[in-house]
Amino acid sequence: IDANWQTYVMIIVYFIILLIIGFYGYRQATGNLSEFMLGGRSIGPYITALSAGASDMSGWMIMGLPGSVYSTGLSAIWITIGLTLGAYINYFVVAPRLRVFTEIAGDAITLPDFFKKRLDVN
């Protein structure tokens, strides 16, 4: 790569900014598992939904869905209808209730943890 000195300076500045952000996040974290997994339950519903959607759909929407449409044709459009309907039901019906019930069930962090505490299974 034929890079000049400005390119190297910008890369170094970028890494310094990343280190500052990481150090700030480290100082803000309390260090327990709930803080790491759930953001201390302090993240709002819209940010949580956007994060979940981005994590959920990124690989599938970029690689899986186009490949499915290419291999099966336009009939794969039903996949997008199912994904949209499923995301809507998840975000507006299941997630709000699950949010409340996970706190009631002894501050469960994951779904298996929730079911274990809710059903009292060892």
21 and 43: one domain? Answer: no
Q: Is 0.75 surpassed by the pTM of this model?
A: no
CB atoms within 10 A of CB 102: 20
14 and 47: one domain? Answer: no
With 0-12 CB in 10 A as exposed, 13-18 as middle and 19+ as buried, what is 108? Answer: buried
| Nearest alpha carbon to residue 104 among 117, 94, 91 | 117
Stretch 94-119: mean pLDDT, rounded?
84
- 86 near 93, Cβ under 8 Å? no
61 and 94: one domain? Answer: yes
62 and 108: one domain? Answer: yes
Structural domain including 1 reads 1-30
Question: pLDDT tens-digit profile of 23-52?
Answer: 887 777 767 777 777 777 777 777 877 887
pLDDT at 108 over 80: yes
38 and 19: one domain? Answer: no
Question: pLDDT tens-digit profile of 44-71?
Answer: 777 877 887 787 777 777 888 888 888 9
- Does residue 39 or residue 114 have the better pLDDT? 114
18 and 44: one domain? Answer: no
| Count of the separate structural domains present in the chain | 2
15 and 43: one domain? Answer: no
24 and 41: one domain? Answer: no
pLDDT at 19 over 90: yes
pLDDT at 15 over 90: yes
For residues 93 and 5, what is the distance between their CA atoms, to the nearest angstrom?
Answer: 54
- 114 near 101, Cβ under 8 Å? yes
